[in-house]
A and B are shown apart, each in its own frame.
Chain A
Amino acid sequence: MDNVAAEVIAIIAAKAREGQKIEMTDRLADLGIDSFGAVEMIFDLEEKFDIQITYNSNDPKPEFETVGDVVNAIEKVVNGKA
């Protein structure tokens, strides 16, 4: 696992239920991250990597359903930036 993925997972873990082991296939909702938890998580990711993520919590199909979705999206933005 590269650095970006590890840092993203650490941010997700901080929002998830305590003591939860995080797998790439885990759904955010199953980790106890509700819609506002996801908004806070995205804020933390934007601050950490100094990036901007388009996200509207009203979208019926969330872009970020699983941990893997978030890791891939952030890696894409961070690598694109570099």
Chain B
Amino acid sequence: MAERVVVTAWGVVSSIGSTAASYWANLVRGVSGIADATLVPTDLLTNKIVAEVKDFDPPAHFDERQSAMLDRVAQFAVVAAREAIAQSGLSFEGGLSERTATIIGTGVGGQNTQDDNYKRLYRDNAKRLHPLTIPKLMVNAPASQVSMDRGLRGPCFAVASACASATHAIGLAFHMVRSGAATCAVTGGADACITFGTLKGWEAMRVMAPDTCRPFSRDRKGLVLGEGAAVVVLETEAHARARGAEILGEITGFGMSSDAYDLTTPDESGMVRAISGALADARLDPSDVQYVNAHGTGTAANDETETKAIKRAFGAHAGKLAISSNKSMVGHALGAAGGLELVATLMAMREKIVPPTINYLGPDPACDLDYVPNEARALDVRAAISNSFAFGGLNAVLAVKRW
């Protein structure tokens, strides 16, 4: 028998707050985390704006030895996981550690380590690299570091699907808990790729906004790169009830699809299959849903295609949906994005407030739905979905219900 899967905790590191509570408060206030880059020199960058995690102080979280072992991306993941696990009250004793899955998505892993070390090698003609170069930059490092830091001995692995990594990770964790393969899961995503090399790579794609991120708005000029982490604790309803845990929401469905079409151009039908798949898995009728937390990157192509996909998946009900994009505030945190967005979606249901899409200048004829422009809105959200659509044509959508 399938188990019901509930969320009992969350933790966040973001450009607008490095706890879940501060992240949510700033999302609702419409605070932007987007500003000129400070982590990298900007004189050789065409696009200088990013959404950095500000005031992140490794010594506040790690001793020197541990800090040296962890790339910034793994530090984010561990800090978010610690917050979530502390909130959950779980101690993973009595065999629970072995029945807890740790699945952390990341788009690109330890980019700071890679950039710093390759710079030493190629530019500074260093003769050797630091011995931890490889274990710090590998994409499973955030997952491994979370499991080591918290002593989680069950299934543990990374999921890499670019901008959908966290959503795929949480979806797989949901499947494992629902099927009984795991009792609990610590899952989410992390990325920390604001490095000179990565920014030059993004710049070359010509999709970066020079001003700010304005999803679904007229005169939107592209995406803004962000960073951060978000981790949730999932468990079976039975386990959460037995220990008297506070249940924050329920994950009820997961839809996945591949466009098998183009590396970067979004595909409406792939998006529709993932959205409809999540709704069907959750046994939700389109009219049961009040809120869509959009992928909403702020590029011309994504926002127009996502709008069409929402219309096709939801039919006439699309016009009644509240739709918003957190990326207007926290930028595109790649492998962390789906985690940050799932937490926002769950909080919106719980608090009955939908966060806005900020920087919205007015409607684009190609994007003609309700994007909750600029101001948060009180709304009784009983069911919602969170969309993630990655480069490579990989789509993942989670469906959630209020508890």
Chain A residues engaging chain B, CB cutoff 8 angstroms: 34-36, 39, 42-43, 54-60
Contacts and interface: CB of A to CB of B under 8 A. Distances in A.
Contacts of A58: 207, 209, 220-222, 299-301
A56 B265 contact: no
Interface string B252-291: 0000000000111100000000000000000000000000
Nearest to A42: B206
A39 B207 CA distance: 10
B207 A43 contact: no
A35 B210 contact: no
Contacts of A42: 206
Contacts of A35: 265, 301
Contact of B206 (A34, A57, A60): A57
Interface of B: 46, 204-210, 220-222, 262-265, 299-301
A60 B204 contact: no
A9 to B, nearest CB: 22
Nearest to A38: B206
B300 A36 contact: no
Contact of B264 (A36, A56, A59, A60): A36
Given A58-B207, A59-B300, 20 more contacts: A35-B265, A36-B262, A36-B263, A36-B264, A36-B265, A39-B205, A39-B206, A54-B46, A55-B206, A56-B207, A56-B208, A56-B210, A56-B221, A57-B222, A57-B299, A57-B300, A58-B209, A58-B220, A58-B300, A60-B300
Nearest to A55: B206
A43 B206 CA distance: 10
Nearest to B366: A60
**Pairs A-B, 8 closest by C-beta atoms:** A58-B300, A58-B222, A57-B206, A39-B206, A58-B221, A55-B206, A36-B264, A58-B299
A56 B301 contact: no
Contacts of B301: 35, 58
Contacts of A57: 205-207, 222, 299-300
Contacts of A39: 204-206
A45 B242 CA distance: 65
A40 to B, nearest CB: 10
Nearest to B302: A58
Contacts of A36: 262-265
B66 to A, nearest CB: 41
A60 to B, nearest CB: 7
Contacts of B262: 36
Contacts of B221: 56, 58-59
A43 to B, nearest CB: 7
